[in-house]
Structure 1
Amino acid sequence: MANDVLRQRQKTVQAEILSDGGEKSVERHPGGEVKHGGGIQLLRLLLFMVYNLGSCISIYATQLLGSPLYFYDKNLFYAYMAITKQSFGILVTTLTQWWTPTVVRISGDVSVAGQLRVTPDGRVECRFPDRVVLIANHQLYSDWVYLWWVAYTNQPRMHGHIFIILKESLKYVPILGWGMMFYGFIFMSRKMAKDQERLEHRLKKLKERHSGPMSGSEGLDPMWLLIFPEGTNASDNGRVKSAAWAKKAGIKDMDHVLLPRSTGSFFCLNELKGTVDYVYDCTMAYEGIPRGKFGEDYYTLRSMYFQGQPPPSVNMYWRRFAVKDIPLDNQEKFDLWLRERWCEKDGFMEEYLTTGRFPASAEATSETKADQNAYIETEVKLAHWWDMGSLVFGWGVFASIIYVLGKVWSWMGIGNKW
C-alpha cells in the first residue's frame, strides 16, 4: 500500500473555540467519540460474554476430552492440544475483528527482508521460521492478542504453536487459566530462584525431538516462544519501578519503554540454544497515546470492545537477530546487549511519537523492485470464513458432552428424583 494513502494519525488534543473567541485545549479520546449508547453497550457486552465464554468453555471441554491421550501417546497429545490452541487463536482474532476492528501498520528493517508481504486481498502474510523466540515491548494488556494474530498470518500458520511466558496468577483464572496450562504456557512468579526449575522443565519439553504429527525438521516441533522482557505493561506504576531500578543499577532509564529484565530471557535462550536460530523483535505502539501517557488510560476492555473506541491503528516494527551473534556466554554481556536493543526501541518510539511512523525498509515488505511499499496497512481478520471450523468443532464437542450427560442423567432417573 502506497505511503500517500496510509491513514493519518488522530489528534488527541484539539483546540475548542470559546464563546469569547479564545481557545482552550481539549483532550479527545484517540479512538474517537463513544459510538454506542448504554443499551447497545449492554447488548455488545452480552453477545461478547456468550461468544467468548461459550467458546472458552467449549475449547476447554475439547482439551479435557483429549487429555487421556497424554498417557497413550504424548506426540498425539501435543498435536491435539495444538489444534485446540488454534481454536483459541481463531477466537481472539474474531473477537477483535467483530467487536473492535483494528488497523495494523507493519514495517521492518532489512533483517526481515522478504518475510512480510501483502496479499492481493489486502491481508498481511508473514514468512517467519517455525521455531523462533519472540521478544516485544509491553505497551498494553492486548499486545499478546495482536502477536497471536501475527502467528495466524504466518506461512505456515503458527497460531497453534505459540507459547507465552506470563505471570503465575493467571493460571488460577477459571477455564481460561486451566486451558493455558494445557497449552504448555509458562507461568512465572518473577523470582528466578523459584521459577528456574519450572522454566527448565518447560523448556526441556520445547526442545525435545519427536516423531509425531507436529514435528518439523530434525524432529523438532514448531514453536514460537513469546517473551515480554519488561515483565509488565507500561503504566504509572511500571514507570516508577523502572526508574527506581535504573537508579539502583546506576543506568539511564528509558523514556517510552520500561527497562528490560534479562535473567529470564538469558536462561531461555541458553536452554534453547541449538534448537532456535533467530530472535524476532517487535516494537509495538498504539496510535493516539499522548507523549508521557499510557495505553491503559485510554484503551480498556470497555472502551475498545463495547463503546466502539479501538486504537486508530496498532503499529509494529520487526527486526531479527541471529542467536549465534547474541552474547549468551556471559550474563552481564547479555544484559548490556538486551538493554542496547531496548534503547533502540526507545528511539523507535520517539520517532513514532514525532512522525506517526516507525522506521521502515522497503526491502522488508516488498517482493519486487517495482513494488516499493515500506509499510503494510491491513486489518485483524480471518483469512477465510472456514477457519471458523475449529471453533465450530469445539462447540460441537461441548454440545455433544452436554447431550450425553443429559442422557445419563435421565437414564439414571436423577432428574425424576428432583
Structure 2
Amino acid sequence: MSNLRQRTQGSTAQPPSTRDKGHEPRLKHGILMQILRFLLLATWFNGCCVIIVATQLVGAPLYFISKNYYYAYMAMTKQCFGILITTITQWGAPTLVRVSGDESVKGQLSLTSDGRLRTMFPDRLVFMANHLVYTDWAYLWWVTYTAGMHGHIYIILKESLKYIPLLGQGMLFYGFIFMARKWERDQPRLQHRLEKLKSRHSGPLSGKNSLDPMWLLIFPEGTNLSANTRKVSDRYGEKVGIPPNRHLLLPRSTGLFFCLQQLKGTIDYVYDCTIGYEGPPKGVYPDRYFTLRSTYAQGRPPKSVNMYWRRFALSDIPLENKEEFEQWLLARWREKDDLLEEFYDTGRFPTSLASSINVEGGSEDQKQEAANGYIETTIRLGHWTEIGQLFIVVTAVGMLLRLVLCS
C-alpha cells in the first residue's frame, strides 16, 4: 500500500443522482411488521437506557467520595451500554462481520470456541476509522466488546449529540468528548479530558503503569460520508489543493494531532480500521442504504460489515511538525481509499493474516476462512446471562428500598 496511486479531480465517485435504481434493496418486512419491530426494539432500547441512566445516578455521589471508584463504576455502566448495543443488533439486525488486516496485527485476532471474534489489542490505544454511515460507532463499540474493553471506550463526537434525551446524559457520564468544531472552544475541553485519560493513580481499574484502560475512538473525517458532506469536503480540498478521494472524505488532522501529542508516553500504538459495507454498488453513498430505520425497523442491515485493521507505532508517527503529520494522515487515507477500491471491486478487503489466526473452534466454514486470513462471525453476546448486568444495581436498590419501607 506504500505506492499510492495518483488521483485527479475526475477520479471521484459519481453522485447519487446517477446511481442505478435497479440496485435499490427490497424491503424485508411489510409496514405492519416494521411498526411492530420498531415498537419492540424501541421499547427494549429505551427501557434499558432508562435503567442505565438510573444506575449512573445511583453511583454519581461516588464522585465526591472517591474519584477512582466513581470512574470504575461508570465504566461498569458503559459496559452495560456495550451489551445493549450488541443485543439489539443480535436480535433486530443480525449482521455478518468479516475481519482481516495487515502484518501489523498478526497474532492479535482469534476465533473463539463458539465462533466469535476475540481481539487482543493493548488496553490503551487510540483508534481511528473512516466514517461511512451513522452506525459505524455501534460496530466499533462491538469490537471493544470482543476485547473486553467495552467499558473503557471514549468517543470524540459532535457537540449536538449530548442534547439527545437519555443518551446525551449517559454519554456525559461516560466521559465522551464533545466537539463544537471551533478549535478555540474545543481545545480546552479536549485537553481537560485528555489530562484525565493520561493521569496516573491507583484504583480498581488501574492497569500497567497505574494508567486506566482506554480505547479512544476518533473519526478524522468529522462526519459520515453523504452527498452534502462530500461537497463540503471537495470544496475544502479544492481550496487547499488536495485532490478528493474516491470513497472517503478528506481527513482533518487537528484533533487527532492534538490527542496524540497529549497522550504521547501513555500509549504505544494507533490502530486504524477501514470499514466497508457489502450491498451498495460502487460509487453509491452507503448512507442511502443503511440508516437506523432501515437497519433495525426494516430489518435490512448490511449483507456484511467488513473491517481491515492495521496499527502504527506512535514512535513512527511525525508528531513534532503539524504539516508533516497532515501529510502522514493524508497518506493513510489514500491507502484506505485504495483498500475500499479493492473492496468494491472484489467484495473483500485484502488480508495478510493467512495461517496466523488462532482458531479455538467455530464451524468448518469459519475455520476455512480463518486459514485464508479472514474471521467471519456475527455480532452477538458470549452468553445471554450478560444481559442481567444491566439490571443488577437498580434491582438491588429496589429491594433495599422495599426492605426499608416495609420494616
TM over 0.5: yes
Shift of 1:239: 0.7
Task: Name 1:18's counterpart in structure 2.
Answer: none
Match of 1:396 in 2: 395
> Unaligned stretches of 5+ in structure 1?
1-24, 409-418
CA contact (8 A) 1:109 1:363 kept: no
| Ranges of 4+ aligned residues in structure 1 off by more than 3 Å | 397-401
1:149 aligns with 142
Q: Which amino acid aligns with 1:253?
A: P
Name the residue aligned to 1:130: 123
Task: Report how far residue 395 of structure 1 moved.
Answer: 5.4
Residue 20 (structure 1) aligns with: none
SS of the equivalent of 2:193 reads helix
1:302-381 alignment, distance < 5 Å: 302-363=293-354, 365-367=356-358, 372-381=371-380
1: CA distance between counterparts of 2:217 and 2:22? 35
Are 2:199 and 1:200 equivalent residues in the alignment?
no
1:72 pairs with 2:71:
no
Q: What's 2:381 paired with?
A: 382
1:28 deviates by 3.6
Secondary structure (helix, strand or coil) at the match of 1:347 reads: helix
C-alpha contact 1:116 1:364 (8 A) present in aligned 2: no
Q: What is the SS of the residue equivalent to 1:67?
A: helix
Identical columns (%): 59
Distance 1:152 1:160 in 2: 8
Contact 2:51–2:391 at 8 Å: present in 1 too?
A: no
CA contact under 8 A between 1:304 and 1:310: conserved in structure 2? yes
The 8 Å contact of residues 107 and 365 in structure 1, kept in 2 or not, is answered as no
Q: Does 1:160 align with 2:159?
A: no
- Name the residue aligned to 1:109: 102
SS in 2 for 1:92: helix
The correspondence for 1:121, drawn from 90, 114, 123, is 114
Deviates more, 1:109-118 or 1:35-44: 35-44
Q: Which moved more, 1:256-265 or 1:283-292?
A: 283-292
1:400 deviates by 5.8
Give 2:387's aligned amino acid.
M
Q: Matched residue of 1:54: which SS? A: helix
Give the corresponding residue for 1:416.
Answer: none
User: Following the alignment from structure 2 to structure 1, what is the Cα–Cα distance between the partners of residues 222 and 56?
Assistant: 29
SS at match of 2:86: helix
Q: Contact conserved, 1:124 with 1:153, CA < 8 A, in 2?
A: yes
Describe the SS at the equivalent of 1:68. helix
* Pairwise CA distance, 1:35: 2.2
Count of paired positions: 378
2:128 corresponds to which letter in structure 1? I
- Whether the aligned pair in 2 keeps the contact of 1:365 and 1:376 (CA below 8 Å) is no
Distance 2:251 2:396 in 1: 42
**Displacement after TM superposition at 1:364 (Å):** 8.2
8 Å CA contact 2:135–2:292 kept in 1: the answer is no
Partner of 1:134, secondary structure, is strand
Shift of 1:100: 0.4
Distance in 2, Cα, partners of 1:129 & 1:373: 25
- The aligned runs of 1:17-56 (5 Å cut-off) are 27-30=22-25, 33-56=26-49
Deviation at 1:277, TM superposition (A): 0.3
The question of whether the paired residues in 2 share the 8 Å contact of 1:163 and 1:223 is answered with yes
Partner of 2:267: 276
Give me the whole-angstrom Cα distance separating, in 1, the residues matched to 2:297 and 2:193: 37
Partners of 1:364 and 1:185 in 2: CA distance: 38
Matches of 1:297 and 1:200, distance apart in 2? 36
Q: Is the 8 A contact 2:354 2:374 kept in 1?
A: no
Paired residue for 1:265? 256
Shift of 1:367: 3.4
CA contact (8 A) 1:58 1:394 kept: no
Query: Residues of 2 paired with 1:336 and 1:376: CA distance?
Result: 32
Change (3 A) 1:236 1:362: same
- Asked whether the equivalents of residues 229 and 265 of structure 1 are also in contact (C-alpha less than 8 Å), the reply is yes
Cα distance per residue 1:372-401 (max 9 Å; x no partner): 331111000001122212123255268669
Instruction: Letter of the 2:123 partner, please give it.
Output: D
Distance 2:355 2:74 in 1: 33
Which consecutive unaligned segments of at least 5 residues does structure 2 have?
1-19, 360-367
What is the one-letter code of the residue matched to 1:270? Answer: Q
Structure 1 stretch displaced more, 51-60 or 357-366: 357-366
Q: In the alignment, is the contact (CA less than 8 A) between 2:124 and 2:213 conserved in 1?
A: yes
Structure 2 CA distance, aligned partners of 1:219 and 1:182? Answer: 22
Alpha-carbon distance change, 120 to 360 in structure 1, aligned in 2, over 3 angstroms: same
Q: State the match for 1:88 in structure 2.
A: 81
Distance 1:191 1:257 in 2: 23
CA distance in 1, matches of 2:34, 2:247: 33
Which of 277, 283, 291 is equivalent to 1:292? 283
